[in-house]
Amino acid sequence: MIETIRIGHLLRETAATPYRNLITRPTGAAVRDRIEAALAESDCVTALLDFSDIELLDFSCADEVVAKLLLADPDRTGRVLVLQGLREDQHEAIEQVLIHHGLAVVAVASGHGDAMPQLIGWVTADARSAFGCLCESGPLRSFQLAWALDWSDSRSRDALGALLAHRLVRAEGELYFPITIA
Amino acid sequence: MTKVIEIPAHLDDRSFEQFTAGFGEWPPEGKLLFDARGAQWASPYGLIGMLTAGQALAEARQERPLFAVPNSTDVKSYWSRIGFFRYAAELFELHGKVPKSSASGPSDALLDVTPVRAMEDVHEAVNRISDTAARILRAELGLERTATGRFSMALSEACQNIVEHAGTGGWVAAQTYTFRRRLGRRVAVIAVSDAGIGFRRSLESTHAKRFGERWGDGAALEAALIQNVSRFRDPGRGQGFRQIKPFLDKWEGKISIRSGTARLAIVPAWDEDVPLSEHLPFFPGAQVQITIPAHEAEPR
């Protein structure tokens, strides 16, 4: 199940402002609190944070909202976080912040459920290649990924393990699934 | 006896040092007269720097300084439009006729002089600049839409520094103008200034030990701008300036920060500024200037 959380809606509720600028740490922390409250009441597997109503996102809010959500007890729920509707400058702000923390998240384009997901943040080059391969091919076992990329099986397992640790893919038994919202 | 602080005819981040040298020991003793009669032009940095001096004197409980307004009608009118006199009247005893801002017409500034005392003021500044900045930055500087977003992000981070670190209020202003002497192109400039404790005192308790005898205003600026340290333990803090840097690199932008007796700059190829200046005359708080030049068309 996917729970869509419209960040612009939460911002308007939190800051009581007609503007769509998600800026300053206190505002980011307040919006994060709202997101956490919404997720606490949800049994969703995937939380889709929709930024399409946001005009400006500064580094402080990228850190307070996205990085701190990812840092908050990652194993507690096993929930996957996906970002949607990011503009180029917002994408860059989040990417810089996540690289600083050694974190990564999946992003999808707004209104394009079938568009290729993107990785934002820090992952190894192998993990990034594995993610791209899974998105193009669909669910794969480790040895299938190794064949597809002409890797050793251990290299494939390491890359998938890294993606799984960051909750950038899903695993069911030996099969690894790309994150989809379609 | 009244001490005269001469306002340079062209007051910007460079001639600011002439201005600061006029104070001598800080806080200066006795009555001060800020003599701006010969002023011909002032950048946002210069304007909010003067307000910062007035604020710092008020907070140091010094006698309310005098301020002789520019003789030039055009200069007075511009300073009025951009909101300088509105706040100067609270900090100085103004001498000379000041045009009402309503009579001077609307300002063409990216962001008029705006006080920053709380996070709400940061929102106010960013919201105000967002309304006009995109249009002006695209039309006058040829910057793409994403660049205008980053410009506002830089403004937000610089203003948040005041609220989180200064321990008092400050000021922000932004404007576009032509940088004839140094660049020959139009630039957009964000200036942020506060009268607070400065970088050295803000970082001293957490970072001075590491620097040992080197610790001072210059080392504190280096720690903040180059090493991205913060007084907060939160590992996400101290990244604001770091994250502005890629944007400055991409657009050949420049950032300079002055605090106490030092000034540190990340200097692009078009400028001849020195990266680090130390042993400058003391000036309270911190002054930041971010300069983004117009996009130069690719040669055919």
How would residue A19 be classed by pLDDT, with cut points 50, 70 and 90? confident
Closest Cβ opposite residue A89 in set B146, B157, B164: B146
Between chains, do B160 and A55 touch, taking CB under 8 Å as contact? no
pLDDT for residue B290? 93
CA nearest B238 in A: which residue?
Answer: A60
Q: Where are the strands (E) in chain A, listed by range?
A: 2-6, 21-22, 46-50, 56-57, 80-84, 104-108, 118-121, 140-141, 169-172, 175-178
Between chains, do B157 and A58 touch, taking CB under 8 Å as contact? yes
Among B169, B172, B190, CA closest to B284? B169
Non-local CB neighbours of B52 within 8 Å, separated by 6+ positions: B170, B171, B193, B194, B195, B283, B284, B285, B287
B25 pLDDT more than 80: yes
B238 pLDDT more than 60: no
B236 pLDDT more than 70: no
pLDDT for residue A75? 59
pLDDT digits (tens, 9 = 90+) for A30-62: 999 999 999 999 988 889 999 999 999 999 999
A21, A32, A55, A101: best mutation site toward chain B, by most B Cβ within 10 Å? Answer: A21
pLDDT digits (tens, 9 = 90+) for B54-67: 999 999 999 999 99
B237 pLDDT more than 60: no
Contacts of B235 in chain A (CB under 8 A): 100-101
Share of residues in chain A with pLDDT > 70 (%) = 94
How would residue B220 be classed by pLDDT, with cut points 50, 70 and 90? very high
Between chains, do A101 and B235 touch, taking CB under 8 Å as contact? yes
pLDDT for residue B79? 96
Contact A153, A142 (CB under 8 A): yes
Q: Return the DSSP state at B108.
A: -
pLDDT digits (tens, 9 = 90+) for B115-161: 999 999 999 899 888 767 778 888 888 887 777 888 888 889 889 98
Q: CA-to-CA distance for B167 and A47, rounded, in angstroms? A: 39
Contacts of A63 in chain B (CB under 8 A): 236, 239
Contacts of A21 in chain B (CB under 8 A): 123, 126-127, 130, 152, 156
B164 pLDDT more than 70: yes
Q: Which residue has better confidence, B234 or A13?
A: A13
- Considering only CB atoms, which residues of chain A are within 8 Å of chain B? 15, 17, 19, 21, 23-27, 55-60, 63-64, 67-68, 87-90, 92-93, 96-97, 100-101
CA nearest A18 in B: which residue?
Answer: B127
How would residue B233 be classed by pLDDT, with cut points 50, 70 and 90? low
pLDDT for residue B162? 86
pLDDT digits (tens, 9 = 90+) for A119-176: 999 999 999 999 999 999 999 999 999 999 999 999 999 999 999 999 999 999 999 9
Contact B8, B15 (CB under 8 A): yes
How would residue A72 be classed by pLDDT, with cut points 50, 70 and 90? confident
pLDDT for residue A113? 57
Q: CA-to-CA distance for B265 and B225, rounded, in angstroms? A: 9
B75 pLDDT more than 90: yes
Contacts of A101 in chain B (CB under 8 A): 235-236
pLDDT digits (tens, 9 = 90+) for B250-300: 888 999 999 999 999 999 998 989 999 999 999 999 999 999 998 876 544
Report the alpha-carbon angle B127-B132-B134, nearest 5. 100
pLDDT for residue B163? 87
pTM here is 0.88
CA dihedral over B12, B18, B19, B20, signed as positive or negative: positive
Q: Exposed, middle or buried, B208 (CB in 10 Å: 0-12/13-18/19+)? A: middle
Q: Which residue has better confidence, A132 or B180?
A: A132
**Residue A161, number of CB atoms within 10 A of its CB:** 16
Contact B172, B191 (CB under 8 A): yes
Non-local CB neighbours of B174 within 8 Å, separated by 6+ positions: B44, B109, B110, B111, B129, B133, B155, B188, B189, B190, B191
Contact B160, B240 (CB under 8 A): yes
Q: Which residue has better confidence, B233 or B206?
A: B206
Closest Cβ opposite residue A21 in set B126, B150, B240: B126
pLDDT digits (tens, 9 = 90+) for B81-99: 999 999 999 999 999 999 8
A69, A87, A89: best mutation site toward chain B, by most B Cβ within 10 Å? Answer: A89
Q: CA-to-CA distance for B76 and B98, rounded, in angstroms? A: 7
SS3 A82: strand
Report the alpha-carbon angle B166-B271-B116, nearest 5. 20
Q: Which of A22-26, A92-96, A166-170, B45-49 has the highest mean pLDDT?
A: B45-49
Q: What is the mean pLDDT of chain A?
A: 91
A76 pLDDT more than 60: no
The single-letter code of the amino acid at A103 is: L
A-to-B residue pairs, Cβ atoms closer than 8 angstroms? 81
Q: CA-to-CA distance for B220 and B211, rounded, in angstroms? A: 9
**Residue A71, number of CB atoms within 10 A of its CB:** 13
Among B265, B248, B249, CA closest to B257? B265
Chain centre to alpha carbon of residue A153: 26
Contact A22, A11 (CB under 8 A): yes
A22 pLDDT more than 60: yes
Contacts of B245 in chain A (CB under 8 A): none
Chain centre to alpha carbon of residue B167: 17
pLDDT for residue B300? 45
B103-119 average pLDDT score = 84
